[in-house]
Structure 1
Amino acid sequence: MCLSNIADRARATLTAATTTVSVGDRVTLICSVEKSAGWKYEWFRRTSHTSEDTINDGLNGNIRVSQGGIYRCRGFRGEPAVYSDPSDEVTIQITFSNKVSVTQKPSWSQIFRGERITLTCEVQGGEGVQWEYEWRTPQSQTFRTKQKDWTITASISGDYSCKSRPTDDSYSATKWSEALRLSVLDTPKAQISRIGGTLTCSVNPSSSGWSYYFYREKNQEVLTVQNTDFHSNRDIRVSQGGVYRCRGGRGEPVYYTEFSDPVTIVDAVLTFEPKWSTFFIGEYLTFKCDMKEGRTDDWKYTLKKSDWTPYSDVTQQDFKINLLDKSHSGDYQCCGLRKGSYYKKCSNRVSIRVSDRARATLTAATTTVSVGDKETLICSVEKSAGWKYEWFRRTSHTSEDTINDGLNGNIRVSQGGIYRCRGFRGEPAVYSDKSDEVTIQITFSNKVSVTQKPSWSQIFRGERITLTCEVQGGEGVQWEYEWRTPQSQTFRTKQKDWTITASISGDYSCKSRPTDDSYSATKWSKALRLSVLGKLIFCF
């Protein structure tokens, strides 16, 4: 009796001493079937681009291959042949001898977190080959790119390496390049320093490739060559006060550092005296330029406006100007240049308004005052400050004379007359034009009445009557008289009697004034009403 061991279907096993072979070398692949004899073998190869095909290399259990690809095998024996299951696949990679290196652009020695840099995988002697590239990162991750340049955003320090393979052969590749070590630092902070009017910006830790940006915080404006004196990429000369900061930027797109701490430069200050809102032709004012640092004699001063520089490079900080023309209106600014340096800074702008010769205005609440009372007169000059005032009075019989009542802008008067005033200010004094005249009338308390002669109750048109203006208590005064008619016309008479020819009905009133004082008078009398009838006709 013969006994035999019948097992499940056989399975081939494929082994290789290495799966990576230098170009031109070979590797031995060994196929076996589970420690049993009599087997012959078939070999198969495929790639990611081609289907599996049989290798015509005899029926041996081992073969030597120099071509990359995916290999497997199976055994068969007997007649008819019985086949084993195919082996697992083994991938053979062919390693090119071309040297590969990683370069970095920009080639800064220090990289900061968030910067964009480009790594390039360079293959020596690879001309004419269409390559694709594989990258290995510090986290041991791998990435493939079609191009040799790989742009990344720096995040962590570590080693970057690459290898390349032909685009038409996935199982051939170069060796991994030597690693390029990137040192990635935290975002740097700019530093700003000041020597006089020069501000210098730098980046700490020190590194190359930076451009520098300066800012003035009054309005967060970035300073440019158009509005700032750039001494170099990192140095500027400033002439305006403000809070300054800077930061660095490099790369494309631009990567910015953190802002520096602020540096404060105090503006020069231009003031003027007197502090009037409006000046008039002929007046003087004095500017003062305060640099707010150092001593007064550390500087040379210039006072200017857009079209005029009245003082240039002088050693005094006070500037006196006689405003001779309206063209002296405008915005004034002063600048100081520190002696022995290029440090210059300028002040705020001060607006000066120059008007034609000023004119006084005289006002009174009323121009008629009862005898014994007083009226307030107010003199002013065109809504501007600093004025003192002169007062003048005249009558129709006397010439104008100054009233000695101080230099106030208002006075109280109890005397009738023609008044006016003018203002003056400054040293030397500049006078305004005089005001228009205001006539003040004084009203007597004497009662005045109108009487009629003949005292007929009815008057006919064409009759002659006499009206008399009676002043009670006016004995000893030489009066003249003023009459008001129904037509509101006025007439003056030297005598208290006024003879008229009756023509229309209406009210007649009178008042009187002393003949030697045109600006004092009684009040108007009560009206006397005349009733004038048609002409009298006699019947026979």
Structure 2
Amino acid sequence: GETVTPTVTLQPSWTQIYSGDTVTVRCEIQGGEGAQWTYEWRRGQSNIPETSNEYRINSVTESDGGGYSCRSTRKWSDIIRLTVLNKPRPVLTVSPSWLSPGASVTLNCEVEHPSAGWSFYWYKAVPDLSEKSSSYELLPDGSGTAQDSYIIHGQTHTAGYVCRAGRGDPEYHTDHSQPKFVWSAAASLTVSPDRVQHFTSDSVSLTCEGNFTEWRVRNNSMWQHKQK
């Protein structure tokens, strides 16, 4: 009979996946559905002990990376390359990081090697002082959002946040990001005239406002105290 060239596919179809993720390599033969084929597999030059049309790797490691091919008739398929990356840790950014009480805060979660298919999880970091660690509380509607940003309205207190991402089915999760803090400004400092650089012998007025009895102006490492 005629020799058919099989095709190798990946499920999910990402050729770059992360260690710990699950992937299935499939061998497909055009018009060969229903036939009882026996399959041969190899990665690079090494044979893989698998005789069915699927080769499933439940928790990939770096050694699973490489070029996969299969055959069931006399011809080997073309090679599909699988690259295994380290498990990603997303980076959370918050803006503003200093806020006036009641303002809104935007959280952004970024995964390295960005690719489609991620959904995002948003948490408040709740410090556990007895164990010097944090537990994470999911924010309202913060589970599996399609957007990589999340807005918190009307924040009044200093708080810490973390995010993580997931994709696939069963879902593969990244590590949690490092916590980022949003600091609530009890005091606000205004500079007049309002610019960053001032010339020598200029007059500059610093005004510190807030409900407190004593103010300090910090100049580099020098603190100056003045009673109100």
Deviation at 1:113, TM superposition (A): 1.2
Would you say 1:221 and 2:127 are equivalent positions?
Answer: no
Task: Specify which structure has the bigger relative contact order, considering alpha-carbon pairs within 8 angstroms and separated by 6 or more residues.
Answer: 2
On the 8 A contact 1:243/1:265 being kept in 2, the answer is yes
Identical columns (%): 38
Counterpart for residue 44 of structure 1:
none
Q: Give the conservation status (yes or no) of the 8 Å contact 1:213–1:248.
A: yes
Aligned to 2:101: none
1:263 and 2:168 are equivalent in the alignment: no
Q: Deviations over 1:250-298 (max 9, x none)?
A: 123322222222210135xxxxxxxxxxxxxxxxxxxxxxx547679xx
> What is the CA–CA distance in structure 1 between the aligned matches of 2:56 and 2:33, rounded to whole Å?
23
Please give the alpha-carbon distance, in whole angstroms, between the structure 2 residues aligned to 1:137 and 1:231. Answer: 37
Instruction: Tell me, yes or no, if the aligned pair for 1:98 and 1:125 is still in contact at 8 Å.
Output: no
Q: Which of the two has higher C-alpha Rg? A: 1
Q: 1:192 to 1:177 in 2, by over 3 A?
A: same
Gap change, CA 1:294 and 1:230, over 3 Å in 2: farther
Gaps of 5+ in 1: 1-22, 24-95, 165-172, 268-290, 297-316, 319-540
TM-score scaled by structure 1? 0.29
Structure 2 partner of 1:129: 35
The residue type equivalent to 1:237 in the other structure is I
Q: Over the residues paired in the alignment, what is the CA RMSD in angstroms?
A: 2.9
Per-residue CA deviations over 1:436-468 (Å, capped at 9, x if unaligned) read xxxxxxxxxxxxxxxxxxxxxxxxxxxxxxxxx
Structure 2 residue matching 1:177: 3-state secondary structure: coil
Structure 2: runs of 5 or more not aligned: 97-104, 127-134, 191-209, 212-228
Alignment of 1:419-438 (within 5 A): none
* TM-score under structure 2 length normalisation: 0.64
Q: 1:254 to 1:264 in 2, by over 3 A?
A: same
1:251 aligns with 2:151: no
**4+ aligned runs moved over 4 Å, structure 1:** 228-232, 293-296
What is the Cα deviation at residue 185 of structure 1? 1.0
| Distance in structure 2 (CA, Å) of the matches to 1:259 and 1:265 | 18
Deviation at 1:200, TM superposition (A): 0.7
Whether the 8 Å contact between 2:122 and 2:143 is mirrored in structure 1 is no
Separation of aligned partners in 1, 2:34 and 2:12: 27
Residue in 2 that maps onto 1:178: 78
Contact 1:249–1:257 (Cα < 8 Å) also in 2 = yes
Alignment CA distance shift 1:233-1:294 (3 Å)? farther
Partner of 2:49: 143
Distance in 2 (alpha carbons) for counterparts of 1:255 and 1:120: 20
Which of the two has greater strand per residue?
A: 1
Shift of 1:149: 2.7
CA separation of 1:251 and 1:266: change in aligned 2, threshold 3 A: same
d(CA) in 1 for partners of 2:56 and 2:140?
Answer: 31
2:110 matches 1:202: yes
Evaluate the alpha carbon distance shift between residue 127 and residue 246 of structure 1 in structure 2; reply closer, same or farther with a 3 A threshold: closer
When residues 224 and 163 of structure 1 are mapped into structure 2, their CA distance, relative to the original with a 3 A threshold, is farther
Per-residue deviation, 1:111:
0.9
In the alignment, does 2:68 pair up with 1:160? yes
Tell me which residue corresponds to 2:148. Answer: 234
Per the TM alignment, residue 202 of structure 1 is displaced from its structure 2 partner at its CA by 1.2
Distance 2:33 2:143 in 1: 51
Question: CA 1:294–1:143 in structure 2 vs 1: closer, same or farther (change >3 Å)?
Answer: farther
In structure 2, relative to structure 1, the CA distance for the partners of 1:194 and 1:161 (3 Å cut) is: same
